[in-house]
Amino acid sequence: MPLNYSKWDQLELSDDSDIEGHPNVDKKSLIRWKQRDIHEKREIRKANIAKIRAELKTHSVLHPRLTTFTQSLPSKGLSFYSSTVEQLQKNPSPDKPTDVEGQPTYDAMIVDVLLRVKEEVMKELGKEDEERVVKALVKGLEGHLKEMEEFKERREKELESELKEQAKHITSDDLHDGWDSHYVPPTPEPAPLVKPKVSKEPAKKSTKTTTEYEVLNPKSSSSSTPAPPPPTAASAEEEEEDEEDPDLPELTPGLRGFAKIPLGEYERSFEYIQKHRDVVLPGAYDALLVEAWSAQTRGETKYSKQCVHQALLLQYCEKLGTNGVGLFFKKMIEHAKPAEPVFRKDVDDTHAHIVRRVKETKTEPQASGKETIQLFPEGDGSDVAWYIPDGPPPPNLILEGPGTEDLSVDEVREVLENRWQIFSSFSPVIQEALKANSLDKLNKVLLGMTVEEAEELVEKLQDSGMLTFAGGGVQEGGPLEPHLAAVAAREKAEAEAEAAKAAAAANVDAVQDAEEL
């Protein structure tokens, strides 16, 4: 198969080996002249092409306007001709073919044509009948339009010839990037919003074998190793700061835009996650819930629920594993059951919990930033028992009911008397809060106390048995109070000890009798 070298025909070289010149002229000069000639002809050709294209552009604007004006002239008369010329002279449009300085505008070109045609007609006819003047003007304009058409055809042929000549040779203007390849490094993964906890393991002790030498005066020996210095207060403070919990994650711009997507717009959420890598990352769930709490505090309920919705989206995707994002959104977009109803219920429950907690936080009394003690039951409050005395124990104390057989009246009187004395030592405000049998009222009183005073009050309440968290004080055999039950247990233990002593004494007597026999 023969090789085709025709593509090299378009190369125009200035240093061809077949250049023939005068023997008295060196070849380098001929090459430079040839090169300059090539570049000069190329620039002249480019300038001529630009000029022809500008002329054709001007023709495409002027020809339709002159044609319309010529067609309207017979019906509107000579006054229309004069008024048009006057308007174009006084209020010309700034439009022109190029921005070159000195370039006339399109309106100036039309005025020049109209004035030239009118001047020729007036020289020929003078001041004759208006109808004949209008016909002569129309004829003159039509002749000018015909010349413009011939000029356009001629310039188009010249442009075609110039472009064909330009295409014969390859120049630097024809070079372009056909294909380009370069390395684009991947986008680094965004940093997690929650800082990982650093494990604080104690340093491993290294065992090192050393040889000790006995010296005469060990205290003055320079080889003795000084004891390590005790920990300073600054180091203790640093350890306490390290033990504090890390700050809550902040909402990034990417997560803020993700939170603004309306509820149920699963396709938009999926597209947003695909475009923003800083959405699915550790800590995003917590950051959205913190924003939901803040929004609900500000009264933005709709935005708060959107944050909860988007936070649970990320949580469900994370729980589904590596491909959890695609799997979850496929189910949600298809409105698969029961997946979508379960998810919506989770969103409603979580947001309702946030709304309820925000309301409770607003109604709770504020402690003005100082440290206080508050009492809260673990459950619904049914395990709180109140035993507030109405007065001192009566002179004739009678114990009745099941479980009181082993109790001593004097012990019970002592307990009740001690409880009444402690209750009487409290201020009237504390007494009113205790009589109400309400933890909320007692907590309000504790807010006005220091930590030491609050701890002392709680300790007195627990020691005296006025407030317990032990299932309401219900015992087997009847509703005995905790301290009365303690008295019974103590008496029972004392009785058992006395019985054991008596049994031991009996055994000793029996042994002695046996020895005597």
Residue ranges covered by each domain of the chain: 27-173, 253-362, 385-398+407-468
Q: Which two tokens stand for residue 37?
A: 């000639």
Strands (E), 375-453: 385-386
Q: What is the mean pLDDT of residues 150-179?
A: 82
Helices marked H in 126-232 — which ranges? 130-167
Which of 54-68, 176-190, 291-305 bottoms out in mean pLDDT, i.e. has the lowest?
Answer: 176-190
Give, as one character, the DSSP assignment of residue 478: B
**Contact (CB, 8 A) for 354 and 293:** yes
CA dist 256 and 262 (Å) reads 13
Q: Is there a contact between 193 and 289 (Cβ–Cβ < 8 Å)?
A: no
Q: What is the pLDDT of residue 211?
A: 57
What is the mean predicted confidence (pLDDT) over 176-202? 63
Query: What are 59-96's pLDDT values in tens digits?
Result: 888 888 888 888 888 888 888 888 888 888 888 888 87
- Report the alpha-carbon distance of residue 166 to residue 300 in Å, rounded: 69
Pairwise CA distance, residues 279 & 259, whole Å: 10
Say if residue 474's pLDDT is above 50. no
- What pLDDT does residue 364 have? 64
**Residue 385: strand, helix, or coil:** strand
When mean pLDDT is compared across 54-68, 100-114, 213-227, 437-451, the lowest value belongs to 213-227
Is-cis flag, bond preceding 338, omega within 30?
yes
Number of H helices, E strands in the chain: 16, 2
Strands, E, within 382-450: which ranges? 385-386
Predicted confidence (pLDDT) at residue 405 exceeds the cutoff of 80: no
Average pLDDT over residues 140-155: 87
What mean pLDDT comes out for the span 357-380? 68
The residues facing 49 across adjacent strands are: none
* Under 8 Å between Cβ of 383 and 377: yes
Q: Say if CB 69 and CB 141 are below 8 A apart.
A: yes
472 Rama class: left (phi>0) / alpha (psi -120 to 50) / beta: left
Query: Which tokens hold the place of 179?
Result: 């294909």
Residues belonging to the chain: 517
Residues 427/433/439/442 CA torsion (nearest 10 deg): -30
Residue 141: CB atoms within 10 A of its CB come to: 22
Percent of the chain at pLDDT exceeding 90:
1
Highest-pLDDT range among 8-17, 419-428, 508-517: 419-428
What's the mean pLDDT in 362-385?
A: 64
Residue-level pLDDT at 20 = 66
Cβ count near 387 (within 10 Å): 19
Does 454 score more than 70 pLDDT? yes
| C-beta neighbour count of 314 within 10 angstroms | 23
Residue 485, SS3?
A: helix
| Claim: this prediction has a pTM higher than 0.85 | no
Residue 369 region by backbone torsions, left for phi larger than 0, else alpha for psi between -120 and 50, else beta:
left
Taking CA atoms, 360 is separated from 158, 217, 258, 356, 375, in Å, by 89, 73, 29, 6, 16
CATH superfamily of 253-362: Cdc37, Hsp90 binding domain (1.20.58.610)
